[in-house]
Structure 1
Amino acid sequence: MSGRNEHDLLGDFEVPDDVYYGVHTARALENFPISGMPIASWPDLVAALACVKQAAALANRDLGLLPESKADAIVKACDDIRTGWGHDQFVVDVIQGGAGTSTNMNANEVIANRALELLGHDLGDYRYLHPLEEVNLGQSTNDVYPTAARVALQWSIRRLLSAVQMVREAFAAKGVEFAAVTKIGRTQLQDAVPMTLGQEFDAFASLIEKDRRRLLESRASLAEVNLGGTAIGTGLNAHPDYATLACGHLAKITGLDVQSDANPVAATQDTSCFVQISTALKRFVVNLSKMCNDLRLLSSGPRAGLGEIALPAVQAGSSIMPGKVNPVIPEVVNQVAFEVIGQDTTITMAAEAGQLQLNAFEPIIVHSLFTGMARLTAACNVLAKRSIAGITAEADSLRASVEHSISLITAVNQQIGYTEATAIAQEALATNRGVVEIIAERGLLSPDELTELLDPNRITGVAVGTARAAGAEGSRAR
């Protein structure tokens, strides 16, 4: 393949004629064959880089530092990238040394060469528009990369929040559907006291909602950026008005809340917003994975397990046991949760390892966050649509378990006393009889008293007769 000769501080380097990246990107390809994932694997990041470069060009144009014709060409090139053109040219590995310098160089070169093409010049003919002197004017990797990451992560979180909401609504719908299905609750895997299956699923929905709010709060921390701070936040080589103008343009281009950090020196070295997001993600997956554990346990069987609910059958479960069906959707969500928890450790260590005025490890932080959010978004969509939505209750079995449960004795504990209640529970367990039968046999309570004390509305703490209506109203409000 024929090539064009480009030059950097290390000397000459031949770059293929038909690529839009240049010498700095080509060297990074040799230096970082690490993950096999190019930055194009994260389209949000590529689009965000184009947004930042476009905002910078517009600010420099406004300040009279960049000729209008060159600014227009850069803006058009960035528009092309934002709409999907040229993502295959963003080839640098997502995991790289240099605090993201290779990513910034890759963006500068692709944008410059696309702009040159639009201006009618050959790729690599940087006499007419230079990737560093003009596309990167007033910028540094150290403000471009973290700003682009914050923009891209806001987009990613928006998609994740939509998927999280889908899971919450799926659980809430089951809470309504199962509002009148009574069952035995459990603590430490032992029979506890009665509840409704609707309460169990409502609790899941409530926990998901709390986690959704924490994710929303973490997204707000991404609004402040250090764009215009250049190398260490002091703004060296940028016009005094550049940061304000560039952030204003970036907010208009992205439609996001973008603000200049009040202390760009602090912002340039600070990765705590990424830690906050990771913490919110970990909180969510810990709860979500526990819920999936519960779904697997509640659906265990079908004959030798709890068998309280049935998960939808989505595939054959065994190559040797005919008829076996496994809880594969909750299982895959569990595995995504394990990965996100591991990524949180990576992010924590990378954030802590930053030194002085810059954290050199933002590439692995950003990659870990994008990976976790992409996996979680997919996992939530699958869980809501292919598992929760199809769950059914084994109502007859649940009712029988309540009627036969020794834990019913708790409902009359105050009337007959703890000592007597304990003796009845022991006898019921030893004789495999129901506690209601033994209470009646001993004449401790009248039939009317038993009926009142063991009323499902009383023992579950909800008015079962009105639960469906209340749940339906809540669903409409959501």
Structure 2
Amino acid sequence: MGKTRIEHDLLGDREVPDEAYYGVHTLRAKENFQISGTTISAFSELVVALASVKEAAAQANTELGLLAPELRDAIVAACEEIRHGALHDQFVVDVIQGGAGTSTNMNANEVVCNRALEILGHQRGEYQYLHPNEHVNMAQSTNDVYPTAIRIATCFAIERLLRAMEHLRAAFAQKATEFAHLLKIGRTQLQDAVPMTLGQEFSTYAVMIEEDIARLTEASALIREINLGATAIGTGITAHPEYAGKALTALRRITGLDLSTAPNLIEATQDCGAFVQLSGVLKRIAVKLSKTCNDLRLLSSGPRSGLGEINLPPMQAGSSIMPGKVNPVIPEVMNQVCFEVFGNDLTVTFAAEAGQLQLNAFEPIIASALFRSFKHLTNGCMTLANLCVKGITANPDRLRESIERSIALVTALNPIIGYKQATEVAAEAYANGTNVREVVLQRGLMTEAELEEALRHEVLTQPRAYERANKG
């Protein structure tokens, strides 16, 4: 063990590594919570959010005459460095922790304080000049700092996910345009249905993502409501009456976010409903992305013995025993991300329900679940777009073959020759292994010209007015 300094808390003295910017409270939490192996530094948005809250609090307290300007300046300078990426490695507490996030708040207080002490010309740990709790945590409690920081971090995470979703949406939209002229057979319940274009099929994926972009944007509004100024349970004890308003103004300026103070801070301190709603939206996104990846795997199945209508870009060898095999690894990894999001949503649900009286002690696991969902969905969308969707190609010959062989093509003739005769055509074609076109012509139900008109690309893939065979 290298050089150390002695720090003291209510449990006694501890040796803290001298090079560490964290202190005794963080050290104990680091030892106590060896759970996931993932520290809060893994979620940079949360570290930035914590520094933003501490900076805003210092500015508000100085405006109110409660904190000396020179101390404020040192705290603000330290927070600005952290917000720009410095000292993130000093946020060492496991993201899953007991204490309702107290260890995370203490970790932030100590790192900010010790860096501010250096800026003031003092040594780390010389808390007689600037104290983590007396000054950095002035007018604050974990119970308003931690949820506020989670909400700010979530806003940042939402922005990143929205950009990734838009990138993926644009990739699908580009393919929809590229494949607009390719006719194929649609399927319902994995059975032949009616014709559509491959472009129409891909456009639905773009539209589904576009819808979820709108839903996520809507959900972000509730997340921007914070409880900073609530302190312990929402009554604002230890805080100046004007503190919440001034801290909000500073925090809006620092983050660039349209934040607002909750109308009832006691309710806001105990209620995790906004996180439940947001997690539900992430689950909705994951459900539809996973369904899309299921489709990509089905459409590319084969290459010789499956549907084989599209080709996914080959990314790596698919088997240690079967030479030449290539698997749909990118859709598969996206499926797994989505499965994780489903589980994370259940975690958020249970944790939000488990709150008691004036506080929910389980916000750390809510934060962990949400941030993992955001991070993995964001990375998954970028991976799916760049390594899969952009490189998809079509198999026109296979598409054409499926159209010609499909018995379901007779559905397009139903308004013209009637349901009864259409059924007979379908049955005969299936029984004899022929196609609909041949049976219709053999039976003299339509001329070749009429049949060509009825089976034109444009007619098969959009609404059209018919002269019906049976108007009764």
TM above 0.5, one fold? yes
Q: Does 1:234 align with 2:243?
A: no
Shift of 1:462: 7.4
Instruction: Show the 5 A alignment for 1:46-445.
Output: 46-445=47-446
Shift of 1:325: 1.0
Shift of 1:447: 2.0
Partners in 2 of 1:408 and 1:22 — Cα distance? Answer: 73
Partners in 1 of 2:147 and 2:113 — Cα distance? Answer: 21
Partners in 2 of 1:424 and 1:328 — Cα distance? Answer: 42
Partners in 2 of 1:39 and 1:397 — Cα distance? Answer: 51
Output the TM-score relative to the length of structure 1.
Answer: 0.95
Output the TM-score relative to the length of structure 2.
Answer: 0.97
Unaligned 5+ runs, structure 2: 465-472
Shift of 1:381: 0.6
Unaligned 5+ runs, structure 1: 464-478
Deviation digits for residues 365-418 of structure 1 (CA, Å, limit 9, x no counterpart): 011111111111111111101110111111111112112211111111122222
Deviation digits for residues 76-114 of structure 1 (CA, Å, limit 9, x no counterpart): 111111111111111111000011000000111111111
Partners in 1 of 2:17 and 2:401 — Cα distance? Answer: 74
Shift of 1:340: 0.7
Partners in 2 of 1:312 and 1:220 — Cα distance? Answer: 38
SS in 2 for 1:4: strand
Shift of 1:286: 0.5
Deviation digits for residues 13-41 of structure 1 (CA, Å, limit 9, x no counterpart): 22122211111111111211111111111
Shift of 1:3: 2.1
Shift of 1:2: 3.0
The one-letter amino acid paired with 2:51 is A
The one-letter amino acid paired with 1:180 is H
SS in 2 for 1:194: strand
Most deviating of 414-423 and 285-294? 414-423
Partners in 2 of 1:153 and 1:462 — Cα distance? Answer: 44
Most deviating of 133-142 and 412-421? 412-421
Partners in 1 of 2:436 and 2:248 — Cα distance? Answer: 70
SS in 1 for 2:57: helix
Aligned counterpart, 2:29: 28
Partners in 2 of 1:272 and 1:287 — Cα distance? Answer: 23
Number of aligned positions between the proteins: 463
Deviation digits for residues 96-155 of structure 1 (CA, Å, limit 9, x no counterpart): 001100000011111111111111112111111111011100000000001111111111
Deviation digits for residues 162-221 of structure 1 (CA, Å, limit 9, x no counterpart): 110011111111110111100000000000000000000011111110011111111111
SS in 1 for 2:223: coil
Partners in 1 of 2:82 and 2:386 — Cα distance? Answer: 33
The one-letter amino acid paired with 1:140 is S
Partners in 2 of 1:386 and 1:123 — Cα distance? Answer: 47
The one-letter amino acid paired with 2:62 is R
The one-letter amino acid paired with 1:258 is L
Deviation digits for residues 421-475 of structure 1 (CA, Å, limit 9, x no counterpart): 1121111111111111111111111222212221221111179xxxxxxxxxxxx
The one-letter amino acid paired with 1:249 is A
Partners in 2 of 1:451 and 1:20 — Cα distance? Answer: 78
Partners in 1 of 2:90 and 2:415 — Cα distance? Answer: 74
Partners in 1 of 2:37 and 2:409 — Cα distance? Answer: 59
Aligned counterpart, 2:6: 5
Partners in 2 of 1:16 and 1:314 — Cα distance? Answer: 46
SS in 2 for 1:325: coil
The one-letter amino acid paired with 1:436 is R
The one-letter amino acid paired with 1:352 is E
The one-letter amino acid paired with 2:339 is F
Shift of 1:320: 1.6
SS in 2 for 1:202: helix
The one-letter amino acid paired with 1:97 is G
Partners in 2 of 1:89 and 1:453 — Cα distance? Answer: 70
Shift of 1:333: 0.3
Partners in 2 of 1:416 and 1:139 — Cα distance? Answer: 77
